Amino acid sequence: MGATGLLEAQLRNWRRELHRYPELSGQEVQTTSRLKTWLAEYNIESSSWGLTTGLVADIGAGQPIIALRADIDALPIHEQIDQAFTSSQNGVMHACGHDLHTSTILGAAILLKSRESELKGTVRIIFQPAEETYRGAYEVLNAGILDDVSAIFGFHNVPELPLGTFATRAGAFYANVDRFKITINGKGGHAGRPHETRDPVIVASQLIQAVQTISSRSINNLETCVVSITQIHGGTTWNVIPETVELEGTVRTHAPEIRIAVEQQLRQIVQGIALSHSVEILVDWENGPAALINTPQWATFSKKVAADQGYRIEDVPLYLIGEDFGAYLEKIPGAFVSIGSGSPFGLHHPKYQPNESLIFPAAQYFATLAIQALESIA
């Protein structure tokens, strides 16, 4: 087996070790230790840069600096696949493929190290914690890791895309992801004497219907807008009207102004319904990751490099899932791309099983992308 085959096998083995020992967001202590050890085996120095978990390594020297990012955390999901490297952590699984992303960018780092003398600047490798909780990107930014970086690139495997396919788009790609909780405080009482109560269940039912008009009647239908109420909690038994009902849900948009408009409209609806029913309704709104908006120049550039590397290029729709990489693109230029992993089950599924064959070609792609990006800036 040649050097290429050995590295490909090594990356696959590393992915399987990461898969067997997954760690949740912010708890990636052993993952970080493994990465540091593996990088050192190839004479790549790394540092925490002040992060509690996660790792950063620079390859090359001087300006400009191009960054490659991989996410390293797992999900609180119990794996339902019986294989030699099934998760050993009960209720924790790499069900989103961050183990694939990590091994891919490890491979890119090793390939770049072998050509370090040729680099027209520096490639900064970022192994980011806590993507699933949308905190990790902000931790990286707050640590100053991107302060002197000219552009950043990252990717996500996509089970719905066949192996060997590549997709990205200029401009908006992944969505703003916001979360809301609505608490209705009414007056409880006997279910047989509802006139003596201010029934929060009735209020909740009206609120659910009214909230659906935001996307259908308040927002231009040509704009992306999804409002979903996904949880309802209230009551303890069949013959008592409760004091309180809680609703939770999510809003997905792409345009910043639509994101703001939806929150304003939701609060206005809540205020009107609360007044009409003489109840108190509290809204807790939590902004999640911002929409991921690719820099057109770098999206086009990344697609061209992929085509040159032999990927089949496909058109990609807007995604309504979230990705904290968008926080980076609010600060500096760059591009996020999709690479097909051909899994029969999708992301966050307990039987998700991506094709490992994507790892080495993707590592070669990102090494080439970084080299060419440096050359285009220098």
Tens of pLDDT, residue by residue over 56-99, are: 999 999 999 999 999 999 999 999 999 999 999 999 999 999 99
Closest CA to 8 of 95, 106, 94: 106
Give the per-residue pLDDT at 3. 77
> In the predicted model, is pLDDT for residue 347 greater than 80?
yes
User: Span 176-287: which CATH code?
Assistant: 3.30.70.360
Burial of 81 (0-12, 13-18, 19+ CB in 10 A): middle
Tokens read off for 174: 């992944």
Known binding residues for Mn(2+): 96, 98, 132, 156, 348
* Position 362 pLDDT exceeds 70: yes
Domain-wise residue ranges, the chain: 3-173+291-377, 176-287
Q: What is the residue-averaged pLDDT of the chain?
A: 96
What pLDDT score was predicted for residue 65?
Answer: 98
Q: Are strands 189-190 and 280-287 parallel, antiparallel or unpaired?
A: unpaired
pTM for the model stands at 0.92
CA distances from 188 to 123, 179, 191, 237, 274 (A): 62, 27, 9, 12, 16
Residues with Cβ within 8 Å of residue 127, at least 6 apart in sequence: 32, 35, 54, 55, 56, 70, 72, 102, 105
**Beta-carbon-side half-sphere exposure of residue 344 (alpha carbons within 13 Å):** 2
Instruction: Label each residue of 188-240 as H, E or C.
Output: CEECCCHHHCECHHHHHHHHHHHHCHHHHHHCCCCCCEEEEEEEEEECCCCCE
For residue 15, give Cα distances in angstroms to 12, 21, 234, 282, 358: 5, 10, 44, 45, 12
Instruction: Name the binding residues.
Output: 96, 98, 132, 156, 348
Residue 2 is predicted with a pLDDT of: 75
Output the pLDDT for position 296: 98
List pLDDT tens digits, range 129-183.
999 999 999 999 999 999 999 999 999 999 999 999 999 999 999 999 999 999 9
Question: What are the pLDDT digits (tens) for 198-246?
Answer: 999 999 999 999 999 999 999 999 999 999 999 999 999 999 999 999 9
Q: Measure CA 24 to chain center.
A: 14
- pLDDT at site 1: 61
**Calpha distance 299→169 (Å, rounded):** 6
pLDDT in tens, 237-291: 999 999 999 999 999 999 999 999 999 999 999 999 999 999 999 999 999 989 9
Q: Considering the domain 3-173+291-377 in this protein, what is its CATH number?
A: 3.40.630.10
